Structure 1
Amino acid sequence: MSRAASRATRRAGSAAAISAGSNTLERLAAERSDPTTLDTVARRLGLPVSPEYQVVQGQPFALGPYRIPDVSVWAFEAPVGETSPVIEAPSGFYVFRLDSVTAAGVPPLNQIRAGASTAIRLEKQKVLARHRADSLESALRGVPDLAGAAAARGLDVQRFGPFTRLRPPSYLAREPIVVGTAFGLRVGERSGVLEGETGYFIVESLSRKLADSSAWLAQRDVQRTQLRQAVQQARIQQYMEGVRAKAKVVDRRKDIFKSQAAADAAATTF
């Protein structure tokens, strides 16, 4: 997957000012082959120039919280150093400059060494943690006091509840497997080792209170309406996806964003 590095300058403001500003950007900065143009025009107009951003071919591009259309199409049609046409987005008008392009492929080891080393180290730590958890589970098998035995081994012991499936304690908010297992245990029953998102767990059920069916009956009609609306929305979505699948769309944005430098070169040749 190819990547490009680009910078942008942005114009935003009232309706009249935006119109005038976009015309100025188009006249002075857009579709220029001189890479210094963007910085020069930005200083002249008092506009900020963004830090360098990566653009991935075929993927939408966002500049901070703003999604900017067509950038990932233009960036892979233009030569390095050229500026883009004025690109309009809900947040303003933008001109981009292409600073570099990295071809698709496996990156060199020196670029990914730190990340790869961290990933390998993390995997080794997970293997060791799993072995330790399995050993602990074997040692605690048949021991009635889970909390006392675990605490005696210097392990973190937490007691929670009562809580519901939909509102687990914050400690388990990212652990759906642990929460689901807790509700599947009988009172006094203990789980095996559970691999969660943040570690390994052994869970023991201390008590259970059955759900109040009268509370569910009171909101049954509301729940039925919500489910019906969800089904209707899903069917509408399926219909729209079917329409899109049958539609024949030709993406000609590459033709629109053909390099101005290439056009100038062609004009010079002929």
Structure 2
Amino acid sequence: MNRRHLLAAVCLVLLALTAGCFGPGAISSEQLDQEPAEPYQWDTERDVHIAVQTNSAFRAVYNVSGSGENIELFRRDGFGGRNPLNVRAVRYRYPNGTVITGSELEARGGGIDRSREAVTVTFPGDEGGKLAFTAGATPKRFSLPVFVEGSYEVVLPSNRRVDIPIFGSVSPRGSTAEVVDGQTHIRWEEVTSRGITVQYYLQRDIPIFGAIAAVSLVIGLSGAYYYKRQIDRLREMREEMGLDVEVEEKDDGPPPGMR
């Protein structure tokens, strides 16, 4: 095998690793069974409860009783494709309240399989239950496909808001927002769209943005005034030099021979 073939083989291996195409078992037991940052909200009245964390992650609890035998977890990329969620701290709760870890879920007949496009979680048994996991999120913008239709609640970290346009927005429409103990709770009674998106801001950012806008306005006005003064000064200099004096041309009629 020459160097070119060896390099191509290495690239294929790296591509396979990053694409997550080693199939079942690609997610380690340590990753599946690690503890979440805070306890999952199992007793929520919503079909889906999502708590956005300050460390660029979120915790989610899905009522999967009516979702069939499995659920696919993924994100959409900018080209119409799908990428698997990097899930961790996976938990499954039976209807009787028993909670098991991700590795216990696999041991009891379920499965957590990662492919190039999604992480597929197969539930143990056919009575349904609730699935919880932790995954990464983008700071100040939470976006996720709708895996389960129904009622939703998204809880933002403390001192985050969505009520000022441009800085904050919520999609799809029809949501309500309420601040409880310093945290914004966004709720939908029914979500059937392809995804939800919440653009939010930190309260202390607003005075900073206001100060930046005020300074920019002062600089802009000062620049406009300076530019106007320069134009006026140039006009005065031209007048002093007689360059702006209009000379009345005498009309002697057509040249000789043309009269």
Q: Would you call these one fold, judging by a TM-score over 0.5? A: no
- Structure with the largest fraction of strand: 2
Q: TM-score, normalised by structure 2?
A: 0.26
- Structure 1 or 2, whichever has the larger Rg, is 2
TM-score for the superposition, normalised by structure 1: 0.26
